[in-house]
Amino acid sequence: MTDDRSTRAGLPERAHHAGGATPAAPRQRRMSAKKKQEAVLRVLRGEDPEVVGREVGTTAADPSAWRGSFLEGGAASLKSRPDDDRDRDLKAMREKIGEMTMANELLETRIDRLEAGTPFRPRRSKR
């Protein structure tokens, strides 16, 4: 004997349990960079992002967002100013600032310990 509830209205059991006539939404899955690139190129060629999104299994917002990221990355890659002395100096200064910041934080921690009255761990005598 078959269960009429699982095949009600000709729907498979999964769709029936999902709420009736509408099938369950597709699961989000990771998409490769190559697939995203192909989708972006289709949108750039004039295809509707909604159609492209539906065909690759996402919403229309995803191909549009990918297009924006793709164009930003392309614009950044076209900036071909070579590194000069200023860039090297700036990098060295940033590293020095990082070192000084860490040293200051360590000194502040030591000051806090001194002010709290417990500056050091008890030591054993050398005798």
* pLDDT tens track for 55-101: 999 988 999 899 999 888 887 777 767 777 888 899 999 999 999 99
122's tokens: 């008890």
Q: Name the residue ranges covered by the structural domains of the chain.
A: 30-76, 86-118
Query: CA dihedral defined by 29, 34, 40, 43, rounded to 10 degrees?
Result: -90
Angle, vertex CA 59, rays to CA 24 and CA 27, nearest 5: 35
pLDDT of residue 24: 46
pLDDT of residue 48: 92
State the pLDDT confidence band at 123, using cuts at 50, 70 and 90.
Answer: low
pLDDT of residue 115: 87
* pLDDT tens track for 17-42: 444 554 444 555 688 888 999 999 99
pLDDT at 111 over 80: yes
